Amino acid sequence: MYEFWLSYNNNAERLQLPVNPSELSIGNGSQNETHSISRLGEITILQDPTLKTFDFSSFFPLFYAPFCSYKNIPKPWEAVQTIERWKKSGKPIRFIVTKTPINYAVSIEDFPYRENEDVGTIYFDLSLKEYPFINVRTITQSKDGKKAEVSKKSQRQNPKPATPKTYKVKQGQSLWIIAQKQLGSGARFKEIANLNGIKAPYIIHPNQTLKMPEKKE
C-alpha cells in the first residue's frame, strides 16, 4: 500500500495521512517564451521548467475504519492544527509518497478544510509547491586583498524518507524489552504500541514486524 507522509524540521515531526487521496495532481510546467519575428514567424525560447506542484484532497476521520491506512489515526483537529502550524512557520516541509519517486521539500501553499454533515470528520484540500534550496556564496578575502576563497552553503532538509524504521520481534521479547533495547528506555513501550495499534495487555508474537519511533538523543 502507498503511504502519504508529511514531515517537518528534518523529520522531528511526522504525519502520515490516515486516508490516502483518491487522486494526486502533479503540475510540471515550463516558462518557455514564444516570440513572433518578422520573416521568421513564431520562435520558442526554451527555459528551465517551473517548480512542481502537488494537489490532492482527503479527510481526517473521527474514528478508525477499514479504509484507513493504519489504526492509531490522529484526532482530526490535532492533525489540522499541526499542518496549520507548519504552514505558519514559513519553513518547508517534506512530502513523500512511498513506492514512488515522490520525495520533495515543499512549501504549503493552501490548506482549506471543512466539516460537512459528518460531524467531527475534517475534509481538506492541500496544495504543495516544490521548495528550491538556494546556495549562498561566501567570499573571504585575505589581508593583502589579493587572495579570496569562495565557499558555498546551502539549506537542506534531510531527504531520508519519513517511513518509520521496523523491528522484528524475537522469541521471549516484550514491548518493554524492545523499547529498552532499541530506544534506550523501557518506559517508551507505549509509543511502540500506539504506533502499531496494539492495545493492552500489549501482546506481541515472535517474527512480528513492528514500526519503531525515532530514538531520542
Cα 162 from Cα 1, distance rounded (Å)? 15
Alpha helices in 19-116 (DSSP H): 76-88
pLDDT of residue 154: 52
Say if residue 107's pLDDT is above 90: yes
Distance of CA 188 to the CA centre of its chain: 24
Residue 186: predicted pLDDT: 85
The model's pLDDT over 46-100, given as tens digits with 9 standing for 90+, comes to: 555 678 899 999 999 999 999 999 999 999 999 999 999 999 998 999 999 999 9
For the segment 15-38, the average pLDDT, to the nearest whole number, is 78
DSSP assignment letter at 196: H
What nine digits make up the cell of 209?
A: 514486524
Position 214 scores a pLDDT of: 84
The predicted pLDDT at position 153 comes to 53
Q: Which three cell numbers stand for residue 137?
A: 556564496
- Fill in the DSSP letter of residue 186: G
User: What gap in Å lies between CA 121 and CA 108, rounded to an integer?
Assistant: 22
What integer pLDDT is reported at residue 216 of this predicted model?
Answer: 72
pLDDT per residue as tens digits for the range 135-164 = 666 666 666 655 555 555 555 555 555 556
Mean pLDDT value across the chain: 83
Q: How far is CA 183 from the centre of its chain?
A: 23
The reported pLDDT for the residue numbered 114 is 93
Mean pLDDT of 169-196: 88
Distance of CA 158 to the CA centre of its chain: 11
Averaged pLDDT for residues 132-136: 73
